[in-house]
Amino acid sequence: MPYITSIEKAGLKRGLEQGLEQGLEQGLEQGLEQGQQMALRDVAHNILESRFQDVPAVIRERLAEEVDLEKLQSLACLAATTKSLDEFRGEMDAT
Protein backbone atom coordinates (compact mmCIF):
# COMPACT_ATOMS: atom_id res chain seq x y z
CA MET A 1 0.00 0.00 0.00
CA PRO A 2 1.53 3.33 -1.01
CA TYR A 3 2.21 5.92 1.66
CA ILE A 4 -0.07 8.97 1.55
CA THR A 5 1.35 12.17 2.96
CA SER A 6 -0.67 14.49 5.16
CA ILE A 7 -0.81 17.02 2.32
CA GLU A 8 -2.24 14.35 -0.01
CA LYS A 9 -4.74 13.34 2.67
CA ALA A 10 -5.85 16.96 3.07
CA GLY A 11 -6.19 17.27 -0.70
CA LEU A 12 -8.25 14.09 -0.92
CA LYS A 13 -10.47 15.25 1.92
CA ARG A 14 -10.96 18.65 0.32
CA GLY A 15 -11.73 17.09 -3.07
CA LEU A 16 -14.27 14.74 -1.50
CA GLU A 17 -15.96 17.60 0.34
CA GLN A 18 -16.17 19.68 -2.87
CA GLY A 19 -17.55 16.72 -4.79
CA LEU A 20 -20.22 16.10 -2.16
CA GLU A 21 -21.16 19.77 -2.09
CA GLN A 22 -21.49 19.94 -5.87
CA GLY A 23 -23.53 16.74 -5.90
CA LEU A 24 -25.91 18.11 -3.28
CA GLU A 25 -26.33 21.41 -5.16
CA GLN A 26 -27.07 19.60 -8.41
CA GLY A 27 -29.51 17.27 -6.67
CA LEU A 28 -31.33 20.19 -5.05
CA GLU A 29 -31.55 22.07 -8.35
CA GLN A 30 -32.92 19.01 -10.15
CA GLY A 31 -35.40 18.35 -7.35
CA LEU A 32 -36.60 21.94 -7.40
CA GLU A 33 -37.07 21.89 -11.17
CA GLN A 34 -38.96 18.60 -11.03
CA GLY A 35 -41.19 20.01 -8.30
CA GLN A 36 -41.97 23.07 -10.41
CA GLN A 37 -42.76 20.86 -13.40
CA MET A 38 -45.13 18.72 -11.36
CA ALA A 39 -46.86 21.77 -9.89
CA LEU A 40 -47.40 23.41 -13.29
CA ARG A 41 -48.70 20.15 -14.77
CA ASP A 42 -51.14 19.82 -11.88
CA VAL A 43 -52.29 23.43 -12.22
CA ALA A 44 -52.96 23.06 -15.95
CA HIS A 45 -54.75 19.73 -15.45
CA ASN A 46 -56.83 20.98 -12.51
CA ILE A 47 -57.92 24.10 -14.39
CA LEU A 48 -58.92 22.06 -17.43
CA GLU A 49 -60.74 19.55 -15.26
CA SER A 50 -62.65 22.21 -13.37
CA ARG A 51 -63.64 23.97 -16.59
CA PHE A 52 -64.38 21.00 -18.86
CA GLN A 53 -64.80 18.04 -16.44
CA ASP A 54 -63.17 15.12 -18.28
CA VAL A 55 -59.68 15.76 -19.63
CA PRO A 56 -58.83 13.36 -22.48
CA ALA A 57 -55.95 10.95 -21.92
CA VAL A 58 -54.02 12.42 -24.84
CA ILE A 59 -53.91 15.82 -23.12
CA ARG A 60 -53.00 14.30 -19.74
CA GLU A 61 -50.20 12.29 -21.34
CA ARG A 62 -48.89 15.29 -23.27
CA LEU A 63 -48.82 17.37 -20.09
CA ALA A 64 -47.02 14.55 -18.27
CA GLU A 65 -44.33 14.40 -20.98
CA GLU A 66 -43.60 18.13 -21.06
CA VAL A 67 -40.48 19.16 -19.13
CA ASP A 68 -39.87 22.75 -20.30
CA LEU A 69 -40.88 25.08 -17.46
CA GLU A 70 -41.73 28.04 -19.72
CA LYS A 71 -43.92 25.85 -21.89
CA LEU A 72 -45.67 24.37 -18.86
CA GLN A 73 -46.29 27.87 -17.53
CA SER A 74 -47.80 28.89 -20.88
CA LEU A 75 -49.98 25.77 -20.89
CA ALA A 76 -51.26 26.56 -17.40
CA CYS A 77 -52.23 30.07 -18.56
CA LEU A 78 -53.75 28.65 -21.72
CA ALA A 79 -55.84 26.22 -19.66
CA ALA A 80 -57.45 29.21 -17.94
CA THR A 81 -58.26 31.09 -21.13
CA THR A 82 -58.98 28.47 -23.79
CA LYS A 83 -62.52 28.14 -25.11
CA SER A 84 -62.44 24.35 -25.50
CA LEU A 85 -60.34 21.26 -25.00
CA ASP A 86 -59.90 21.01 -28.76
CA GLU A 87 -58.49 24.53 -28.85
CA PHE A 88 -56.19 23.72 -25.93
CA ARG A 89 -54.95 20.57 -27.63
CA GLY A 90 -54.37 22.42 -30.90
CA GLU A 91 -52.37 25.13 -29.16
CA MET A 92 -50.47 22.54 -27.14
CA ASP A 93 -49.52 20.64 -30.30
CA ALA A 94 -48.53 23.86 -32.10
CA THR A 95 -46.03 24.92 -29.43
- What's the total number of domains in the chain? 1
Is residue 31 a part of any domain in this protein? yes
Write out the chain's pLDDT in tens, 95 residues. 677 777 877 777 787 788 888 888 888 889 899 999 999 999 999 999 999 999 999 999 999 999 999 999 999 999 999 999 999 999 988 87
Is residue 1 a part of any domain in this protein? no
Is residue 67 a part of any domain in this protein? yes
- Report d(CA 61, CA 66) in Å as an integer: 9
Is residue 34 a part of any domain in this protein? yes
pLDDT at position 1: 62
Domain that holds residue 30: 6-94
Report how far apart, in Å, the C-alpha atoms of 23 and of each of 12, 19, 28, 31, 69 are: 16, 6, 9, 12, 22
Of 76, 94, 5, the residue nearest 38 (C-alpha): 76
Is residue 53 a part of any domain in this protein? yes
Model-level pTM? 0.76
